[in-house]
Amino acid sequence: MATASRYQRQCWAALFTICLISPAAESAFPVAVDGEPLPSLAPMLERVRPAVVNIATESVEQLRDNPLLNDPFFRRFFNLEQGQPRQRRSQSLGSGIVLDAEHGYIVTNSHVIQDADEITVTLHDGREFSADVVGADPDADIAVIKIPPRDLTAIRSGDSDRLRVGDFVVAIGNPFGLNQTVTSGIVSALGRSGLGIEGYEDFIQTDASINVGNSGGALVNLRGELVGVNTAILSRSGGSVGIGFAIPVNMARNLVDQIVEFGEVRRGRLGILIQDLTPELAQAFGLANGAGALITQVLENSPAQQAGLKDGDIVLQVNGRSIRNAADLSNTVGLLRVGDKVRLRVFRDGESRIIRAHVAQPNEASDIGKRLSAKLEGATLRSLEDDPERTGVLVVAVESDTPAWRAGLRENDVIVSINRKPVRRLSDIENIAKRNPGALLLNIQRDNGALFLVLR
Catalytic positions are 111, 141, 215
Nearest to 338 by CA among 371, 363, 321, 318: 363
d(CA 258, CA 176): 31
Nearest to 113 by CA among 161, 53, 169: 53
d(CA 21, CA 16): 9
User: CA distances (Å), 348 to each of 13, 34, 88, 356, 401, in order?
Assistant: 64, 64, 58, 15, 29
Q: If you compute the radius of gyration of the chain from its CA atoms, what whole number of angstroms results?
A: 27
> Which amino acid belongs to residue 208?
A
**How are the residues of the chain apportioned to helix, strand and coil, as percentages rounded to the nearest 5?**
25, 35, 40
User: Residue 136 forms beta bridges with which residues?
Assistant: 143
User: Residue 267 forms beta bridges with which residues?
Assistant: 337
> Which amino acid belongs to residue 112?
V
Could you tell me if residue 161 is left (phi over 0), alpha (psi between -120 and 50 degrees) or otherwise beta? Answer: alpha
